Structure 1
Amino acid sequence: MSEGRGSTLVQILLVALCLVAFGFAIAAERRRSVGIMLRDERTNETYCSYNSDVATGYGVGSFLFLLSSESLLMGVTKCMCFGRPLTPGGSRAWVTFLGAEACLVAGATKNAYHTKYRGMIYAQNFTCETLRKGIFVAGAVFIVATMILNVYYYMYFTEATNTPASHKANRASSTVGMTGYA
């Protein structure tokens, strides 16, 4: 381990897990469910039909890889949750991590809601609801920000823990007189 930079293996694992999570988030955005209006020939009513549910799986996969990355960092630095902070403050990556996870969970849930539970909804005068564009992209942006902040946090954390604390000089007696004049 080089002085002040931390383990290269931990940094590589952090980046690799975040990049896989980023890839899954982009894949989820590209494979979002799309609803089309169909007409039932028997009853002459329209309903929404949604294509496959692949984006939900990609969103969940992205969520799990990002969670693994954050768990690795917190396990290595022994700073679970909001544990022992560095001297002006702790990891700022928690905000981006929670933002990314929220986007990924919301996107996967909304996507699954349409494909799994609303496979056939009878619609009158409205279009088929689909997942709004950009939910998974927002998660991907947060993933990249989390990755950058985590790598910097790990580097600064190892530098702070490896640097010896400044020692006070051991003096036999004080140089400042504290007794009054009599």
Structure 2
Amino acid sequence: MASTLLLVVVCVLDVIAFALAVAAEHRRAKASYYSDANGSYCVYDSDYATGLGVGSLLLLMASQVIIMLVTRCLCCGTALRPGRSRVWAITLFITCWVTFFIAEVCLLAGSVRNAYHTRYRSVLSNHPPSCATLRKGVFGAGAAFVVFTGIVSELFYVYYSEANNEGFQPARETGIRMGTYHK
């Protein structure tokens, strides 16, 4: 019951993080070039994508923290039972962290770059300023990796639960058995 509730909470956080990342992709800032008597400058239309990207980043981080606290980050607690479930749990643990890191970098880079809205002026030169904006697809890539992270982290939890079924306990008699000695 508790494990099902945990998976539902993590899934909801991941879905909301994905929705925010997709919304950030559609709301990223666009720039317009203007020129007046004071010089040339860029004007950016909105800054919604930055907040959406940061929200997605924080929700994904909360999801990852919950999974890692419950599984004790795979390094604390009882040893996992040997077998296929343990191998999958370890593999998915590593994959989960890699996809999480990529998603966080995409969302953070997109949010920082989108927030970088300054007025570029070219008063002394005749060259127009560069109205650089965030490339299309940065938040989209973050959203894709949010989905990958969600799927992999939930699979990791399932295999961890299988391998952690009451922990690994060796048999009661671990010594070498010897037959009775007869002369």
Aligned to 1:159: 162
Specify every segment of 5 or more residues in structure 1 that has no aligned partner in the other structure, as ranges.
none
Contact 2:120 2:130 survives alignment (8 Å): no
Q: Secondary structure at the match of 2:121?
A: strand
The amino acid that maps onto 1:122 is R
What are the Cα deviations for residues 52-82 of structure 1, in whole angstroms up to 9, with x where unaligned? 1110000000000000000110111111xx7
What are the Cα deviations for residues 14-39 of structure 1, in whole angstroms up to 9, with x where unaligned? 11000000000001000001000011
What are the Cα deviations for residues 118-176 of structure 1, in whole angstroms up to 9, with x where unaligned? 1x211423541110000000000100000000110111111111156464363897237
The question of 1:83 aligning with 2:75 is answered yes
Aligned to 1:11: 7
Tell me the C-alpha RMSD between the 2 structures: 2.5
Select the structure that is richer in helix: 2
Q: How far apart, CA to CA, are the structure 2 residues paired with 1:58 and 1:64?
A: 10
Cα distance, 1:51 vs structure 2: 1.1
Q: How far apart, CA to CA, are the structure 2 residues paired with 1:172 and 1:108?
A: 59
Aligned to 1:48: 42
Q: How far apart, CA to CA, are the structure 2 residues paired with 1:172 and 1:141?
A: 52
Q: Secondary structure at the match of 1:125?
A: coil
Q: How far apart, CA to CA, are the structure 2 residues paired with 1:53 and 1:83?
A: 41
Cα distance, 1:12 vs structure 2: 0.5
Q: How far apart, CA to CA, are the structure 2 residues paired with 1:94 and 1:172?
A: 39
Q: How many residue pairs end up in the alignment? A: 166
Q: How far apart, CA to CA, are the structure 1 residues paired with 2:7 and 2:176?
A: 48
Alignment map for 1:20-35 (pairs within 5 Å): 20-35=16-31
Aligned to 1:170: 173
- Give percent identity, aligned residues only: 40
- TM-score w.r.t. the length of structure 2 is 0.81
Alignment map for 1:133-148 (pairs within 5 Å): 133-148=136-151
- TM-score w.r.t. the length of structure 1 is 0.81
Alignment map for 1:69-148 (pairs within 5 Å): 69-79=63-73, 83-84=75-76, 87-88=86-87, 89=90, 91=93, 92-114=95-117, 118=118, 120-123=119-122, 124-148=127-151
Specify every segment of 5 or more residues in structure 2 that has no aligned partner in the other structure, as ranges.
81-85
